[in-house]
Amino acid sequence: MDGNGRWAKRRFLPRIAGHRKGVEAVRNIVRACTDRGVQALTLFAFSSENWRRPADEVSLLMQLFVSALQQEVDRLHENGIRFRAIGDISRFDPKLVGLLEGAQKKTAANTGLTLTVAANYGGRWDILQAMRRMFEASPQLRAEPTRASEADLAPYLAMNYAPEPDLFIRTGGEQRISNFMLWQTAYAELYFAATLWPEFKAKQLQDAVHSYLQRDRRFGSSSAVL
């Protein structure tokens, strides 16, 4: 969800104003995905690299995260949306950790859209922590690591509860994955939008989906085989 800071800068506003506007965009896109019958939506809210930002901006982001959870969780629950959080949340303030855990518990039985927020998350971290957990749980694999397979590792990845993504969208004009779901996006279709995140609405989502639907997904096979 890239472009909050640039959106604010173009309007001579502080960066936090862009992040607040970005929360509105989240609300709109969640609603649009629900209307379209999307099964899973994962939002990259805060990467493990974002700690490098100025301390005051990080602090304000954490406060915004807290307020967004306080305001939105009941609405998510009322609409049957299941909330999940992935990433190393132990570094966050206990209040934020409690809100994240409470939101997951409250919505756990919901069967609508699964909304995942990646917070203090990185794709490399995900693969590394999964590998460590797999070896801790399976002494036989630790003794003979060459026996380990993708199927052995899969249950320990952060997104083990969701299907692999079909479509990866990045806003703001940058054309890179930036350490997001590196394992899971191996065969995702990539879509890069010039639109800044605060201006990304249902119309822009529709454009991304339309682009996806025009593509020939072969997963390594030829179109003749499929």
CA distance to 119, 175, 180, 188, 195, per residue, from 215 (Å):
30, 18, 22, 11, 21
Residue with tokens 């982001």: 61
The active-site residue out of 2, 4, 120, 126 is: 2
Active site residue 207: no
User: Between vectors from CA 109 to CA 107 and to CA 112, what angle results, nearest 5°?
Assistant: 80
Catalytic residue among 4, 35, 50, 152: 50
Q: Is 28 a catalytic residue?
A: no
Cβ pair 41, 33 in contact under 8 A: yes
Which among 195, 197, 200 has a CA at the least distance from the CA of 2?
197
Query: What is the C-alpha to C-alpha distance for residues 68 and 66, in angstroms, rounded to an integer?
Result: 5
Enumerate the active-site residues. 2, 50
